């Protein structure tokens, strides 16, 4: 039974700390390794989204097919796609930019990593003092992302638009073929309805191309600014960044990676959502760990694990559901407790879940059961976060 694939892309200029962040949030991959999909590029890795596992309700330990579960917290695999540092002109192919940008096709959301400390230059060189503005850095990377879409759309546009307008089919469906490089599907492109786009594609100009590109990274592949290197900022400076860049988050990839490794080596202990420093560390290590703990205790700082959860829950509006074969013991046919956890869009119906489990089950759907309430639900019933669902289908 395959799990739903969720991919998040990382973009940013060189030396924004993106590779360090990638290492920090994907570090568990080598330890766990049981994820249900093959990564899409050499710069892909696996992180995890954490949710409350329903096995705590029935008092039986779960047996995850993918991911893992610790103390009732289920970790579900999420693919992270690391796009190598973007430089100005990447959308036109400079620095292999187009090749890098193509890897965003499968991303459902994009984290735009910027240097909140302002100590790296336009080409990524680390400087001893502030030389860049986070606002300018964000603007530059977004310009490259927008231009990537615009340039791809412009290629052969006149001929495509003329034929599409003559076909008589809805504009959105014609456009879907042209923008397949972005990875859109029919349900996503239909969200264009109500947007101020001309109905005839032949009349589109640069302003429509730009509006479409902006719409993609707002409504379809949310583009979220994430300020790295916040450990180099004073508390007041951190709050100023958040104020100036609405919707942004502040992190320290270097501190996250250091904390992960300290935990692995037993230098740092994690008890009841707080850290405790081991007695075996030396004074120099203790000072470093104290700085990390103090940084994480600043409530304006976002932990990378929370960032992944926020992206999936609040930006992609996805929920977790658990399909099972036995409504009493919440097991599959082999007796495994809650073996699968699916991340699906909010509003997913019972029959849509059936198709995700297997096309034959969806095609022969009869009804489903909410295993928590033992209530029978129909094909169009919208599922809720944390639902445990048995699907009943008429199969040969």
> What's the distance, CA 359 to chain centroid?
26
Distance CA 178, CA 161 (A): 9
Local structure of residue 352 (DSSP, 8 states):
H
Tokens in use for 233?
A: 């900022």
User: What domains lie within the chain, and their CATH numbers?
Assistant: 7-145+223-313 (3.40.50.300), 153-207 (no CATH), 319-393 (3.10.20.30)
Local structure of residue 381 (DSSP, 8 states):
P
Which whole number is the average pLDDT over 317-334?
Answer: 97
Distance CA 380, CA 351 (A): 7
Distance CA 80, CA 25 (A): 9
CB 389 within 8 A of CB 323: yes
Q: Is 116 helix (H, G, I), strand (E, B) or coil?
A: coil
Distance CA 174, CA 170 (A): 7
pLDDT of residue 150: 92
Q: Is it the case that residue 122 has pLDDT exceeding 70?
A: no
pLDDT of residue 125: 62
Q: What is the mean pLDDT of the chain?
A: 87
Looking at the chain, the whole-number percentage of residues with pLDDT higher than 70 is 87
Q: What pTM was computed for the model?
A: 0.86
Local structure of residue 230 (DSSP, 8 states):
G
Which whole number is the average pLDDT over 168-190?
Answer: 88
pLDDT of residue 2: 42
Instruction: Return the minimum-mean-pLDDT range out of 63-67, 87-91, 233-237, 318-322.
Output: 87-91
Report the chain's terminal Cα–Cα distance, integer Å: 19
Burial of 281 (0-12, 13-18, 19+ CB in 10 A): middle
DSSP string across 178-198: HTGGGT--HHHHGGGTTS---
Q: Which residues of 368-377 are buried (b: 16+ CB within 10 A; e: fewer)?
A: bbbbbeeeeb
Q: Is 228 helix (H, G, I), strand (E, B) or coil?
A: strand
Q: Is it the case that residue 30 has pLDDT exceeding 90?
A: no
Local structure of residue 144 (DSSP, 8 states):
H
């Amino acid at each position: 039974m395959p799990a739903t694939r969720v991919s998040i892309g990382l973009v940013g200029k060189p030396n924004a700390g993106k590779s360090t962040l990638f290492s920090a949030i994907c570090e568990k991959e080598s330890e766990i390794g049981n994820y249900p999909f093959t990564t899409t590029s050499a710069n892909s890795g696996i992180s995890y989204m954490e949710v409350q596992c329903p096995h705590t309700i029935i008092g039986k330990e779960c047996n995850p097919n993918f991911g893992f579960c610790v103390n009732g917290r289920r970790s579900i695999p999420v693919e992270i796609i690391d796009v190598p540092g973007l430089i100005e002109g990447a959308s036109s192919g400079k620095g292999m930019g187009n090749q890098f940008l193509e890897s965003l096709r499968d991303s459902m959301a994009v984290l735009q990593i910027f240097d909140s400390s302002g100590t790296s230059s336009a080409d990524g060189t680390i400087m001893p003092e502030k030389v860049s503005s986070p606002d300018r850095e964000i603007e530059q990377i977004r310009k490259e992302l927008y231009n990537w879409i615009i340039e791809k759309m412009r290629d052969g546009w006149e001929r495509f638009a003329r034929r599409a307008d003559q076909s008589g089919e809805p504009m959105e469906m014609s456009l879907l073929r042209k923008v397949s490089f972005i990875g859109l599907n029919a349900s996503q492109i239909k969200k264009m309805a109500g947007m101020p786009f001309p109905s005839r594609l032949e009349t589109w100009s640069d302003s429509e191309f730009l509006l479409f590109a902006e719409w993609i990274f707002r409504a379809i592949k949310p583009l979220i600014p994430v300020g790295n290197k916040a450990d180099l900022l004073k508390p007041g400076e951190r709050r100023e960044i958040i104020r100036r860049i609405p919707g942004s988050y502040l992190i320290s990839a270097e501190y996250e990676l250091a904390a992960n490794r300290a935990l692995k080596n037993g230098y740092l202990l994690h008890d009841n959502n707080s850290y405790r420093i081991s007695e075996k560390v030396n004074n120099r290590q203790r000072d470093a760990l104290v700085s990390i703990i103090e940084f994480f205790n600043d409530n304006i700082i976002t932990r990378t694990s929370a960032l992944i959860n926020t992206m999936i829950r609040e930006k992609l509006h996805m929920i977790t559901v658990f399909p099972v074969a036995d409504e009493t013991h919440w097991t599959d046919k082999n007796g495994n407790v809650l073996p699968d956890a699916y991340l699906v869009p909010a509003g997913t119906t019972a029959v849509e879940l059936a198709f995700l489990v297997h096309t034959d089950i969806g095609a022969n759907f009869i009804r489903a059961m909410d295993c928590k309430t033992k209530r029978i639900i129909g094909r169009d019933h919208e599922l809720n976060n944390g639902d445990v669902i048995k699907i009943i289908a008429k199969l040969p």
